[in-house]
Amino acid sequence: MPRPSAADSKGRILAAAAKEFAAHGYAGANVDRIARAARLNKAMIYYHFASKAALYRDILNDMFAAVQRRVADVAASADAPAAKLRRYVEAIAVEAEARPHFPPIWLRELADGGRHIDQATRRHVRGVLAALQAILDEGARAGAFRRVNLIILHGGIIAPLMFFFATAGVRRRLLRGVPLAGADLSTAAVVAHIQQLALAQLEGKVA
């Protein structure tokens, strides 16, 4: 994955495209706007990428590759299962904050039924779940975790996380003036909350 550098045009295109796809979705994204934001022109995009779809797939793939790398490191570490679980949640949050385009693009891709996810990306997605499963198995073997449904647990982690990051705009727009609406919500507070909920399930404090 050629990481973006201010100098090379391909990196600038990837950065501009990620922003554009996050803001407008695949169909709504405009190749010309991407080119202008990258201080280039349309032709340069087709010099580096075969098509709009290929550009989008590259961005998707990069997102999930990054997340998988991070959570695989966590699963392979020497921490206790509960600590790994906390770090798993944190890893996803870190990646979402480092790549602000990640949560909105993932939300849209879910709504699209995963239509643009190619084989490489699918492997990464499965790798993320495999890392969580490994943590759960280890915890269960150690007697620290009870067995829970992987998808229910993962949904309880990824869904509120993605919502928190992706809805900053909507919260500002819709909840102006609503008391207790949580304008003061910090990433740290949300992450801590999700960690506690997940651990409460695994440790049998809640059914």
Partner DNA sequence: GTCTATAAATAGATAGAC
Partner DNA sequence: GTCTATCTATTTATAGAC
Compute CA distances 149 → 50, 53, 140, 161, whole Å.
40, 34, 13, 19
Toward DNA, which CB reaches closer, 48 or 87? 48
Q: Which two tokens stand for residue 170?
A: 């909507």
CA 42 to chain centre: 28
Residue 182 interface partner, choices DNA, a second copy, none, CB cut-off 5-8 Å depending on type:
a second copy
DSSP 3-state percent helix, strand, coil across the chain (nearest 5): 70, 0, 30
Toward DNA, which CB reaches closer, 55 or 63? 55
Residue 144 interface partner, choices a second copy, DNA, none, CB cut-off 5-8 Å depending on type:
none
Q: How many residues bind DNA (CB under 7 A)?
A: 17
Toward DNA, which CB reaches closer, 7 or 207? 7
- With 0-12 / 13-18 / 19 or more C-beta atoms within 10 angstroms meaning exposed / middle / buried, residue 17 is buried
The one among 1, 3, 6, 43 contacting DNA by CB under 7 A: 43
Residue 123 interface partner, choices a second copy, DNA, none, CB cut-off 5-8 Å depending on type:
none
- Nearest Cα neighbor of 97 from 37, 154, 164, 159 is 164
Closest approach of a second copy to the CB of residue 130, in Å: 8
Stretch that binds DNA, among 23-31, 140-148, 149-157, 176-184 (CB under 7 A): 23-31
| Residue ranges in 38-57 that form contacts with a second copy under rule CB under 8 A | none
Q: Which residues contact 130 (CB under 8 A, 6 or more apart)?
A: none
Closest approach of a second copy to the CB of residue 111, in Å: 4
The one among 54, 142, 178, 188 contacting a second copy by CB under 8 A: 178
Give the chain's largest Cα–Cα span: 59
List of residues contacting DNA (CB under 7 A): 9-10, 29-32, 39-44, 46-47, 51-53
